[in-house]
Structure 1
Amino acid sequence: MEPRASPAAEPHGRARTLVLFRGPVEPLVFLANFALVLQGPLTTQYLWHRFSAEVGYNGTRERGTCSNHSADPKMQEVETLTSHWTLYMNVGGFLVDLFSSTLLGAWSDCVGRRPLLVLASFGLLLQSLISIFVVQLELHVGYFVLGRIVSALLGDFGGLLAASFASVADVSSSHTRTIRMAVLESCIGIGGMLASLLGGYWLQAQGYANPFWLAMALLITMTLYAAFCFGETVKEPTRTRLFTLRHHRSIFQLYMSPAPEKSRKHLALYSLAIFVVITVHFGAQDILTLYELSSPLCWDSTLIGYGSAMHHLTYLTSLLGLRLLQYFLADSWVAEIGLAFNIMGMVVFAFANITPLMFTGYGLLFLSLVITPVLRAKLSKLVSQSEHGALFSAVACVNGLAMLAASGIFNTLYPATLNFMKGFPFLLGAGLLFIPAILIGVLEKMSPRPEFQHFPQS
């Protein structure tokens, strides 16, 4: 781990901030994703059971004949409603996040990473609180959309990731940046894996409410950590207005303004590669729980928890694989290998009709998440240190746009293809992943001149 800026480097205006100790950003990402993954599959299953009760579908898992009811119109109606409300939540969050993440990320270049981390943590906390009200009081499921919008207004998980990756870029050298990005992403995976294992059993034992309460407690802890324990990585924070077009202009200038120290072509094409990869990842993730709940798999909450845990274990296996492969291969080749395994996993998902085959698909994803840390590290080397916040807020915007595209494509395509090939969206995802594979290969051949990566890092 790279040394952080010394307390003496902070200006006098920051000295009044009560900081208990100068902790790293990784615990924030771990706690945030633990809370989100604990809530995510539970929210999907809660929607499934709410709509099942409304349409009068009670399933047949208890008699072991679920696979004989794949054409049940009530089951298809439940699947469609659940898929569409997932889409509404993602679209509502994105439309707000598109404005807030670009504003807040560039703002953090001036005021520091801590204010954005606190805002995003508090927004996730409010979303969790609203989810608890929906589950406990059986409010209309539309309040899930409201919670998503409230969180997006304050930065959401995308804003928290933007500040986190920017803080890592602030204190890492160009040599260590890729592995540092992978370590941060592995915190996402470890948190998600533990939450997945816990959530399935807890749902069966005590229902929906208690896991949401735990998520809220974790988010309270996370908000306090961001406010009082995170070690600021911007050396000289300065006060600046939040609501000004200057922050949005800094995003556009990254891609539009010519400068001798950056390759706009590489910035744009690497961003496109990230967009496609995240679209496939989130699109598949959106429909996986639904795919597993329905026939012919008919998984219960425990199996869904195991599947989600294996999915998040890929963050850790990808970190180990990246560290090992870096001894023998350039980062671009490591990303190409990860894409190859990702494509194979998607193809297996498309044809999985039994549980062992589904877990085989999860196993093939063991290197699938080496791609994004490689791309983020390459992007961060194309801009100056003072532009890290703007860059990663732009990446957060790309992330949000990818989530919107993923929801629009996969959650619309999934119910539309139920009658002729249920796994078709996974095949589409496998095909889309050839786009970043080609882009990374072409960009490696057109690698930027050394001056594009010359910025000294602290």
Structure 2
Amino acid sequence: MAAMAAPPPAEPPVPPGPCRLSLLAVEPLLFLATVSLGLQGPLATQYLWDRLGAEHGYSDRNSTESSGCGDGNATADPLRQEVEALVSHWNLYINLGGFFVSLFSVTLFGAWSDGVGRRPALILPCAGMALQTAIYLLVMYLELHVAFFLLGRILSGLTGDYNLILASCFSYVADTSERRARTFRVAVLEACLGTAGMVASIGGGQWRRAQGYINPFWLAFAASLAATLYAAFFLRESVKQKKAAKLFTLSHYKAVYRLYTAPEHPSSRWKLALYTLAFFLIVTVHFGAKDIYVLYELGFPLCWASDLIGYGSAASYLAYLSSLAGLRLLQLCLEDTWVAEIGLISNVAGLVVISLATTTPLMFTGYGVLFLSMAATPVIRSKLSKLVSETEQGALFASVACVEGLCSLVSTGVFNSLYPATLHFMRGFPFLFGAIILLIPAAILGWIQIWDSKHDYNHFQDASLSPTKD
């Protein structure tokens, strides 16, 4: 009995066990934060459209819903073009303001969390998102100038914004998972992103149509506040050995820099760079395709109504869940890299089908072929995590979150410019372009895997020959 009593005192400094993780996991926090973000983004854009349109005398009577499908009448309206330009500019200011502020705060807080723990790096951005939503609500209630949207986004960016939540959640999983199970745990987190996005996109649009903007934004505020409280009172700390660390110091930025310039193992440097490049290309194509799905579906010859667009959005988000299931099954017989390659094949094939879609069944066939398209990113996140030490996970995922923010900006610029420029010869060309780009990360992942296999074989061969030399 005395021997049985020894383990409990040793338990607190050790990371939580599987049973506790199932009760005190980080997935609910990510789900709540993603629901909040998923509600805010589209609703804020629609509010800007209605508000700026009303200020300039533009009525919804002239919207595309009443102007026909693909006949160009709506875009010929100069007043509509002026409102579109204003909304686009304000969206650009808000997104750029949030990105550049969070670029510095994410790398600061991410590396800081390696010392002080993950919970502070989760509480701060969740509280910042709640503050941003509260400012958005004040703008709507008091009809303040839309520039206050930018103020709310900057304040959220100062606390790390959604990118820090992503970085801290993935760092938390890296802290609390075994290396063999890490890819699947990361995939579970990404499945939370898809599920929350599906709930927010479908529910938010229907709710706005029925009750306006205020009530959906109250739900976004409640979700971000609930995420803050969950991180503060229910989430167990994942860092094994916490230590006091100054927040405002250049050493945190140097920690991120050292990841790519002076890693523990020399081969890790180029692997980190190549995996990061592959991740950048995959996520850029993913974001870029999502940006133009609705435009593609609204235009001729598909001419989808709002109900079909909602089903299409749900189908695109279902790829997160089907990729999770496919990843789990394929891991039973394949190495992670080859699972990622199959995921990229699914992504390429789906985009090619969508680029040629002229009917509704063919468009949904394209969505169906994308069923494994989200299997590559969790594999890359896991591979990156295994290249650095336990005390560098926060710095690593902070840099990955910054790359993801850059992906969003690049994809918006490239795909939204490419779509109108190629309408005259092939409406689906941006999807075909994305499929071609995905061949680059597929080559990168395959080359690294082959190089590792040869390196391991040579090492094994040298080890087997060494006894004979003795």
TM-score above 0.5, yes or no: yes
Shift of 1:284: 2.3
SS in 2 for 1:72: helix
Shift of 1:297: 4.9
Q: Distance in 2 between matches of 1:282 and 1:135?
A: 28
- Indicate yes or no: 2:98 matched with 1:69: no
- Indicate yes or no: 2:10 matched with 1:9: no
Tell me, yes or no, if the aligned pair for 2:64 and 2:74 is still in contact at 8 Å: no
Shift of 1:73: 1.6
1:401 maps to 406
Shift of 1:292: 4.2
Instruction: Please show how residues 33-432 of structure 1 align to structure 2 within 5 Å.
Output: 33-50=34-51, 53=54, 54=56, 55=58, 58-59=61-62, 65-69=68-72, 72-74=75-77, 81-260=86-265, 263-292=268-297, 297=302, 299=304, 301-417=306-422, 421-432=426-437
The alignment's TM-score, normalised by the length of structure 2, stands at 0.84
Deviates more, 1:374-383 or 1:254-263: 254-263
SS in 2 for 1:309: helix
Tell me, yes or no, if the aligned pair for 1:341 and 1:367 is still in contact at 8 Å: yes
Tell me, yes or no, if the aligned pair for 1:84 and 1:412 is still in contact at 8 Å: no
Shift of 1:268: 0.7
Deviates more, 1:186-195 or 1:300-309: 300-309
Shift of 1:359: 3.0
Shift of 1:352: 4.1
SS in 2 for 1:365: helix
1:99-147 deviations in Å (ceiling 9; x for gaps):
1111110000000000010011011112222332344444444433333
SS in 1 for 2:12: helix
1:353–1:133 distance in 2 versus 1, CA, 3 Å: farther
1:86–1:340 distance in 2 versus 1, CA, 3 Å: farther
Shift of 1:295: 5.7
1:10–1:174 distance in 2 versus 1, CA, 3 Å: closer
Q: Distance in 1 between matches of 2:234 and 2:333?
A: 38
Deviates more, 1:368-377 or 1:305-314: 305-314
2:438 maps to 433
> Structure with the greater relative contact order (CA < 8 A, sep ≥ 6): 1 or 2?
1
1:81-105 deviations in Å (ceiling 9; x for gaps):
5444433333222211211111110
Deviates more, 1:163-172 or 1:198-207: 198-207
1:186-209 deviations in Å (ceiling 9; x for gaps):
111111122223123212211222
Q: Distance in 2 between matches of 1:275 and 1:329?
A: 24
SS in 1 for 2:71: helix
Identity of paired residues, percent?
A: 56
1:29 maps to 30
Q: Distance in 2 between matches of 1:181 and 1:42?
A: 29
1:60–1:286 distance in 2 versus 1, CA, 3 Å: closer
Q: Distance in 2 between matches of 1:247 and 1:446?
A: 32
2:3 maps to none
Tell me, yes or no, if the aligned pair for 2:263 and 2:388 is still in contact at 8 Å: no
Shift of 1:361: 2.9
1:360–1:40 distance in 2 versus 1, CA, 3 Å: farther
1:18 maps to none
Q: Distance in 1 between matches of 2:302 and 2:91?
A: 21
Deviates more, 1:136-145 or 1:388-397: 136-145
Q: Distance in 1 between matches of 2:320 and 2:305?
A: 24
Structure 1 unaligned spans of 5+ = 12-20, 451-458
SS in 2 for 1:328: coil
Shift of 1:264: 0.7
Tell me, yes or no, if the aligned pair for 2:62 and 2:74 is still in contact at 8 Å: no
1:14-35 deviations in Å (ceiling 9; x for gaps):
xxxxxxx972111011111112
1:221–1:150 distance in 2 versus 1, CA, 3 Å: same
Instruction: State the aligned residue count.
Output: 437
Shift of 1:282: 1.7
Q: Distance in 2 between matches of 1:143 and 1:296?
A: 40
